[in-house]
Every structure is written in C-alpha cells, then in structure tokens.
Amino acid sequence: MSNTNGSIFEGCELLCPAGSRESLETALYFGADAVYVGGPIMQLRAENAGFDNKQLSDAINFVHSKNKIIYVTVNCFATNSEISQIGDYAKFLYEAGADGVIVSDLGTIAEIKSAAPELPVHISTQANIQNYKTAEVYYNMGAERVVLGREMTLDEIAELRAKTPKSLEIECFVHGAMCMSYSGRCLISSYLTGKSGNRGDCTQPCRWMYSIVEEKRPEQHFTVIEENGASAILSSHDLCCIDVLDEIARAGVISFKIEGRMKSPYYVATVTNAYRKRIDGTANLAELHNELECASHRPYSSGFYFGALKYDHSNDGLYRQSCKFIGIVLGKDSDNRYLIEMRNKFSVGDNLEILSPYTTGKSFTVESIIDANGNPRECAHIPREILSVYSPEELHEGDILRIRL
C-alpha cells in the first residue's frame, strides 16, 4: 500500500475502478494501490466496460509492472449456461496472474475454488453481507475478503470485524453512485425497459422524474416536487466519505473502494487523486471537497455509515460538476511548452487548472496554441487533436487539464 506515514491508514488500500485501459492507467497514475476490472464474462457491467482475455492479460502485466494490484469482477449471479464456463475462466485468470476475483454467486465460488483453488476470492457487495456470521460462512468457503453491503453502519462493521477471523479482510465502498435498492438486486430497469441491473444493463429508472396519476383521470399528471422545483423521488445520493475515511478505517476496513467502472478517465482521475491525498495527508479537507465537486456527481451523502440516510438538500437525480475536462498532458514539447491531447474545446485566454498527483491548486492562462503543423490557433475544437501549449507551471505526462464552469 502507498501510505507510509504511520497514520490510521497504515496498510490500507485505495481500490479504484477501471472500465477501460485508459482508466486503468489513469487510476494508477493518480495513486490507486489497486484496480478492479471486468473480463469477457459475468462482470456485471455493460460490455464496453469489460476487457477481453488478451486485454486482461496485458492489463495484469502492466499493473504488476507498476507494483500494484488488480482484481477481476466475476460478480453476476450465474445462469445455468454460464456455470460451464467458470472453471476454465478461473484457470485462465489464475495463470494470467490476477490478484483475486470478486464474486457473489455461491455456485460460481464453488466452481472457482474447484478449478483454481489458489486464486484468491473476494465476496462482492452484491452478496449483501450484513452480519458477522455470513462473513464467517464465506471465509470458511475460502474467501479472503468480504465487500460488505452498503447498508451497514460503522458500529455494525466494527462488530463484524471483532467477531470474524483477523485474516479475513474487509472492503467497503467510500465513494460513488449507490442503488436505491440492495445493490444489484433491483428489478425496476428490467421491468420497465427489459434491461436488467442484475446483468449490468441498468437504465437507472430510479433517477427518472415521476408524476402521480389518479386512476380515473389518466390525462392529469401531478408533478412530485420537494425543493428547488424538482425531485427524483427514488434517486439515492452519491456516496462521499472523504470526511469520515479515518472512522471507516477504525471500524476495521482495510480497502477503500471507489465505484465507477462506467465512469470516464477524468472522473477516475479526480476522485482517485482526492482520496489519495486524503490518505497521505497531503491536502486539507476544504481542498479535497473542492476537488470532488469538479467531477460529475449527484448530491453527496455519507450513505448508511451513521444510520439512516441523511440528505442535506433535495435530489433532482441530475448530475452536476464544477469543471470540464479539457485535455491530457502527453509530455514536454520544448521549454515550457507541453503537448496536450485535447478532449474539449478551449481557447487562448482561458484559465486551465492542473489536476496532478504532484500538486494542488495550480493553474495557468493559455497564451498560445500551436497545432501539429506548427500553426498558431485561437482555439482548439477537434477532439483528440495533439496541440502544444505554453505553461509557466511544470506539467507531467499524465496530468489532466480542466476548465472551471
């Protein structure tokens, strides 16, 4: 683990999502100790958030070259047709060097332990572990780690920790979207759209706006409003535990998990960077709150850690963010000029903020933009175009540039 300052976070792991190779590399650059990825089967996310076997092998080798850890999600509840695939897949993951698999289905656990008994098994939050006895049962089945249900309080987690074997590791989510139902068990999307959240295809109908209709007056729709003009009555707040990370560690949690395999590399960079700095003590909470506002999110709350969900303002189900992703630093072009891969439009005169593991609160004004042919430009408007910009601030390969909205 990266933290060595002897704090409450000694030995804790920052575990970050990687739905693509770019997100994986971004997470490691911004301070993840470990990443979790999906493979070609049973990964509980849309297909475009998974790696094929070749990509998975390459990703495992890359992560290990950085002396970091990689886990693979195999956390769908298996259908009859999938059971026959699990044994060979487990052998492949073990031989490829995966550091563990995240599993929820009992039959899948049995198949993995039979085919690849040395492959570490972590029990997914989809298994909804809420008590120490359930955790102990999974431990006796060979699980090395449990990812607890998000509905547990800190007191309940501490009790579970005290009543389970010390060698059983505890992982909990600390940031990201939350289901309005038990994670992965909601059927609303399947019922309304034919796309099941239990198979990674959730259309998030809990975020939709709903109206009340009286049976005998179907033409009359009454909008449900809480505050500020709108409300998504089923939508949960996003989880944010930057303030209480130390309390979560004291409860016995050793792995802090960030949700978001469907999120962008910019989101992964922003959130990973904030939690890394929180763990290492290299930024104050006010700075970190400001950072977390820069990434797209719904209203934040601390989840169930202190009991019933407490909302500090109405939830309209909409995303908000204070910054826009502008580009990625590819390296140095010449003295104080840097190559940028542009992602969103920016112009000469814009003030760009620097998102970097090496600094906080730095920005610069764009004095000039030069394209690949050496021509000056007033604005950059072609996505993924490689451009050169002047910066009086030192930039590093992998840093991200953003603009305040």
The DSSP result for 27-59, as a single string, is: HHHTT-SEEEEE-SSS-SS-GGGB--HHHHHHH
List the alpha helices (DSSP H) in 195-284: 245-250, 265-280
CB contact set of 310 (below 8 Å; sequence gap of 6+): 301, 302
Q: Give the tokens for residue 97.
A: 């060097």
The residue assigned the tokens 């031989």 is: 95
pLDDT of residue 6: 56
What is each CA distance from 163 to 63, 131, 142, 159, in whole angstroms?
34, 10, 17, 6
| DSSP code of residue 98 | -
CB contact set of 309 (below 8 Å; sequence gap of 6+): 236, 237, 301, 303
CB contact set of 405 (below 8 Å; sequence gap of 6+): 321, 322, 323, 324
List the beta strands (DSSP E) in 273-322. 300-301
pLDDT of residue 1: 53
For the stretch 350-373, what's the b/e string if a residue is b when 16 or more beta carbons lie within 10 angstroms of its beta carbon?
A: bebbbbbbeebebebebeebbeee
What is each CA distance from 398 to 26, 182, 192, 334, in whole angstroms?
7, 37, 41, 17
Q: Which residues of the chain have pLDDT under 50?
A: 2, 4
Residue 59 CA to residue 92 CA, distance in Å, equals 14
Cα torsion 290, 291, 297, 303: sign: negative
Residue 200 CA to residue 195 CA, distance in Å, equals 8
List the beta strands (DSSP E) in 115-215. 121-123, 143-147, 169-176, 211-213
Where are the chain's structural domains? 13-181+236-301, 323-404
> The domain at 13-181+236-301 falls in which architecture?
Alpha-Beta Barrel (3.20)
Residue 309 CA to residue 331 CA, distance in Å, equals 45
Residue 317 CA to residue 402 CA, distance in Å, equals 24
Taking alpha carbons only, the member of 234, 239, 128 closest to residue 178 is: 239
pLDDT of residue 352: 98
> Which tens digits make up the pLDDT trace of 105-164?
999 999 999 999 999 999 999 999 999 999 999 999 999 999 999 999 999 999 999 999
pLDDT of residue 4: 45
For the stretch 3-26, what's the b/e string if a residue is b when 16 or more beta carbons lie within 10 angstroms of its beta carbon?
A: beeeeebeebbbbbbbbbeebbbb
Residue 261 CA to residue 18 CA, distance in Å, equals 5
pLDDT of residue 388: 97
Is the whole-model pTM more than 0.85?
yes
Taking alpha carbons only, the member of 167, 129, 168, 298 closest to residue 230 is: 298
Provide the greatest CA pair distance for the chain.
74
Same fold flag, 13-181+236-301 and 323-404: no
Length of the chain: 405
pLDDT of residue 200: 72
- CATH entry, 323-404, from 3.30.70.1090, 3.40.50.970, 2.40.30.10, 2.60.40.1120: 2.40.30.10
Contact 317, 229 (CB under 8 A): no
